[in-house]
Amino acid sequence: MRWNISLAYLAALLGCASEGSAADTAVVRDGETGFTFSEFQAAFVIGQSIKFRVAVPSPAPDKFDLVFQIVAPVSVGWTGLAWGASMVNDPLTIGWASGTTPVLSVRRTTVRTQPQVYDGAKVQILKTGSKVNGTHWQITAKCSGCSSFSTTGSNTKSLNPTGVNRLAFAYSKTKPNSASAAAMISVHDVYSYWDHDFSAAGNLDFDQLVTKNT
């Protein structure tokens, strides 16, 4: 199967191709890590969703670090978050569970082919808030380079820490066959977009919480 084959018809059939608005994001105060997140629940099959959560420093400097959290049912082989709302020319943070180990990989591509490992953004999995159990797997991670990144040529894109940012996700039911961040990933089965409200994601004690949960 080629990466440039659109599966939008499948997503539409499953009710997963509809786009989300900022009104669909909610505030979540995570008792385990202490972060305040803004959350979007992305449907990937009828009746099941993947939770994507974002936390940012308040006030946020230019090119700010952010913390994101993915909570996915174990039926999710892999899922990815596109920080520029596109498969191409932006950081893609892709997660999956390998046995009892949560795995996170940063990828990027300039064309619609298999995204390759990308060193322009750095991620750090936080020990607290990252786990696998019988029903779900969860990753909590800090990203440096997800809030501001090059797109094409000399162009850059910067996310607004106090506004609404367009994000996208992809999902595949097929799990990568290793815990390597460079593992081959299958083509996605479903993808969609939404407007994520970062204004609800501010954390005054952001740096302290990162240290506490590392």
Please write down the HEC assignment for all residues of 83-148.
Answer: CCCCCCCCCEEEEEEECCEEEEEEEECCCCCCCEECCCCEEEECCCCCEECCCEEEEEEEEECCCE
Give the whole-angstrom CA distance, residue 55 versus residue 199: 10
Residue pair 109/118 in contact by the 8 Å Cβ criterion:
no
pLDDT (0 to 100) of residue 14: 42
State which H helix or E strand residue 212 sits in.
helix 206-213
* pTM, full prediction: 0.91
Residue 201 within any structural domain of the chain: yes
What amino acid is encoded at 181 in this protein?
A
| 3 belongs to a structural domain | no
Residue 18 has a pLDDT of 52
CATH number reported for the structural domain that contains residue 125 in this entry: 2.60.40.1210
Assess if residue 90 is contained within a domain: yes
User: What is the pLDDT tens value at each position of the chain, 214 positions in all?
Assistant: 334 333 433 443 344 445 666 668 999 999 999 999 999 999 999 999 999 999 999 999 999 999 999 999 999 999 999 999 999 999 999 999 999 999 999 999 999 999 999 999 999 999 999 999 999 999 999 999 999 999 999 999 999 999 999 999 999 999 999 999 999 999 999 999 999 999 999 999 999 999 999 9
How much is the pLDDT for 132? 98
Give the residue numbers spanning the domain of 53. Answer: 8-213
Q: Give the pLDDT score at 6.
A: 39
The answer as to whether 54 is a domain residue is yes
Q: Is 1 part of any domain?
A: no
> Contact at 8 Å (CB) between 19 and 192?
yes
Number of domains in the chain: 1
Amino acid identity of residue 64, one-letter, is F
Q: Which two tokens stand for residue 152?
A: 């094409």
Coil vs helix vs strand at 8: helix
3-class SS at 11?
A: helix
Instruction: Answer whether residue 192 is part of any domain.
Output: yes
